[in-house]
Amino acid sequence: MNSLTKKKKQMKIRSIFEPGTEIPKRFTCLGSNVSPSFVFEGIPSDAESLVLLIEDIDASPVPWTHWHVFNIPPATTLIEEGQVPAGGIEGLCNNHTFGYEGPCPKYFKGIHHYVFRLYALDTRLELSAATEPATIKELMKEHIIDFADLVGICDSGTYINDLSDEVTDATTDE
């Protein structure tokens, strides 16, 4: 199968926040900026590896990759908060950095949607950690067995007081 529309969609990805709700502050740049914990369910028995990709789909001009980890062992059912899954390889984010980059409402206004997508692949990706997200997406396209989405939101209006405090702190330091 090589089309996402033909997938079974039996996998599930869960986290500390409910689908369609606000991503807690500690997982943003205004908090600890650590990755949330994840629980994976329904991984196909024929999966050879998993890929976790987190994107801000409202970023412009293209979705912004905040984290991607590939070659996660298919037996993985839990990723602890702030951890890279054992055996997984962190690829480059859009900012050409490694590691989780949480939502950052000081760089946008309004509501942004973050898609946490888990892919099950029928192969391992033989790539270096310095691989760009676009390369990962292209190379895994023909190997996707199943996938699952979890969408969280970040509303810059929720953090308006935090951003005002930050501006005040910056001006009083002078």
C-alpha pair distances (Å), 49 with each of 74, 88, 104, 136, 147: 5, 9, 30, 13, 12
Q: Tell me how many domains the chain contains.
A: 1
pLDDT at 158 over 80: no
138 inside domain: yes
Q: 3-class DSSP state for residue 146?
A: strand
pLDDT at 142 over 60: yes
For residue 67, give the CATH number of its domain. 3.90.280.10
Residue pair 71/125 in contact (Cβ under 8 Å)? The answer is: yes
Exposed/middle/buried for 82, CB within 10 Å: 0-12, 13-18, 19+? middle
2 inside domain: no
Residue 39 belongs to what domain range?
7-172
What span, in angstroms and rounded, lies between the C-alpha atoms of 94 and 134?
9
Which among 156, 71, 60, 154 has a CA at the least distance from the CA of 116? Answer: 154
pLDDT at 7 over 70: no
User: Which tens digit of pLDDT belongs to each residue from 81-118?
Assistant: 999 999 999 999 887 889 999 998 877 888 999 999 99
pTM: 0.86
User: Which tens digit of pLDDT belongs to each residue from 23-69?
Assistant: 999 999 889 999 999 999 999 999 999 999 999 999 888 899 999 99
What span, in angstroms and rounded, lies between the C-alpha atoms of 66 and 35?
10
1 inside domain: no
Other Cβ atoms closer than 10 A to 41: 12
